[in-house]
Structure 1
């Protein structure tokens, strides 16, 4: 029985926070430990420059994201871990796919339609005002990322389903027009994925400014946790789990029994201040070892680079084979 290939990309436009860890990093690393799975994980730095025009942030984020995954337990021996920009074959495939992709398909991309709508809402005469080709055609680059490694499954959030469907459309069009080369990927939606709430009860997101950093000290983590909103109930007054985001965050780091015990303590009047101390201790206990590894990795970026280059060599070996098949299919081949 052949192994199932699962591919995930992480955009390099920020520093990972607790929500990224609970919602994406921790489950992906656990999934990669499955003996029946071949896992591909890449740093999507070419995707990063679509929206982020700060070179320093792209560079800093690339290091931070790579170090985060490695510190949290990613095994580069079991997972093909690489930086998108180290695989030139992806960009060549991107162009070939661009040549066969219907413009109408790109017109229907959610990100492009949202940008057009924003211009219309602002009364812009030109609906494409300040919309760049990176934003317009990035679903094709995403398709190249997926199709290059014959991914069977692509775990995505519901807002990204369209991109996997587009990859299927583009692959099917190529296979029909030329020859059967590409594997048609399937969307994988994890219904149990944990969308961690932030300090204010909304989804934890950098854009909301409600995140808890991953790599702070124990003391700074406690300070962040102290900012979680609560009500004015005094110590001794019974409290319910839905009265503060604190409970949902605690639940993400606790066993079912610990969660039940915590619920009971709240019902018995646990003070919010004490509850926050328990939560910070839970987070710090789980992240103690990863934080040490993260500090060691970021102090030695050459080590991260070496791991990425080894992953790129492994990825390119496969990419070259598929690209040669694609080139041959479209008629780009040696003479004689």
Structure 2
């Protein structure tokens, strides 16, 4: 039986102390969708388990092909993590490309996975269906993501709904590797489990569609002043007159308010919507103030960190050292089991 068609082995038992791994793309300034969809949970989880968080600059190259932009975006993501409360003494924060073991593991995985699996990739199919020509990096994206997870022995992966398919590929590759190269009683790679992120509805952008850099409809986590106010005031709403009652449940502004306001404040604002005499401009002003207040402390920390770039780079170097110390012995065992000999 061919290795790529071999029957998967049973899942390995979950470890009592999971290794958490996750990453985020530096494809532009991070926005509220990134924060509520992933970053907030990353900040919480990094204090609870052995954890490795990385800025996936290799992944970003599928769309960002300007060297200066990629460098700038990568550094900005590091600033954002630290400003939002990531403690580098609690977990590793590093840049994906600083751990070359990952790309070597990716090549080994390429030889275990049928191309038909990648042809079913959601991101890849969306580009094809839109009449675009995806590059090979996007086609192979899930295999690099699997290597990102398994190079560190990742067993718990924070994911949202849009990443579940890729995690299944990582689980499949772990099983395939263990079945093909490991004795039944000595599997090497854990089969990673998803940690489903908070059940946050799709974060609406300023145009009502899903907030995404691709749509240019984002509100940045650290937008402030006229930039923040301008984006909030430009959120698309319907044309219901000021005096008329409004439905908060169908309003993009209110959907964003619910992310920041406590239940009592949400109810007060919803009552104003339904009573009439409360315009969308009023709601936008309340949202603006909520965003300003929520990120005030983080914004101040970020401005301080911007003045200490050497500290940020030191954090990333230390994180990469910790990540390589974790990945190297795993890759050495992978090399041994697949038959890659060492001559030096």
User: Is the aligned partner of 1:281 residue 2:289?
Assistant: yes
Q: Cα RMSD (Å) of the superposition? A: 2.3
Q: Does structure 2 conserve the Cα–Cα contact (< 8 Å) formed by 1:171 and 1:184?
A: yes
C-alpha displacement at 1:115, in angstroms? Answer: 4.4
Task: Name 1:42's counterpart in structure 2.
Answer: 54
- What stretches of structure 1 of length at least 5 have no aligned partner? 123-129
C-alpha displacement at 1:184, in angstroms? Answer: 0.6
Superposition TM-score, scaled by structure 2 size = 0.87
Task: Name 1:157's counterpart in structure 2.
Answer: 160
C-alpha displacement at 1:237, in angstroms? Answer: 3.4
User: Is the aligned partner of 1:206 residue 2:213?
Assistant: yes
Q: In structure 2, what is the Cα distance between the partners aligned to 1:43 and 1:78? A: 17
User: Is the aligned partner of 1:90 residue 2:102?
Assistant: yes
C-alpha displacement at 1:153, in angstroms? Answer: 2.1
Q: Does structure 2 conserve the Cα–Cα contact (< 8 Å) formed by 1:231 and 1:243?
A: no
User: Is the aligned partner of 1:69 residue 2:75?
Assistant: no
Q: How do residues 85-164 of structure 1 correspond to structure 2 at under 5 angstroms?
A: 85-118=97-130, 131-164=134-167
Work out which of the residue numbers 1, 26, 31 in structure 2 matches 1:17: 31
Task: Name 1:30's counterpart in structure 2.
Answer: 44
SS in 2 for 1:40: strand
Task: Name 1:195's counterpart in structure 2.
Answer: 202
Task: Name 1:257's counterpart in structure 2.
Answer: 264
Q: In structure 2, what is the Cα distance between the partners aligned to 1:185 and 1:200? A: 36
Q: In structure 2, what is the Cα distance between the partners aligned to 1:89 and 1:83? A: 13
C-alpha displacement at 1:46, in angstroms? Answer: 0.8
Task: Name 2:19's counterpart in structure 1.
Answer: 5
Q: Does structure 2 conserve the Cα–Cα contact (< 8 Å) formed by 1:22 and 1:194?
A: no
C-alpha displacement at 1:240, in angstroms? Answer: 2.2
- What stretches of structure 2 of length at least 5 have no aligned partner? 1-14
Superposition TM-score, scaled by structure 1 size = 0.88
Q: Does structure 2 conserve the Cα–Cα contact (< 8 Å) formed by 1:80 and 1:315?
A: yes
Q: Which moved more, 1:326-335 or 1:259-268?
A: 326-335
Aligned residues: 325
Runs of 4+ in structure 1 deviating by more than 6 angstroms, as ranges, are none
Q: Does structure 2 conserve the Cα–Cα contact (< 8 Å) formed by 1:42 and 1:84?
A: yes
User: Is the aligned partner of 1:216 residue 2:223?
Assistant: yes
Q: In structure 2, what is the Cα distance between the partners aligned to 1:118 and 1:103? A: 21
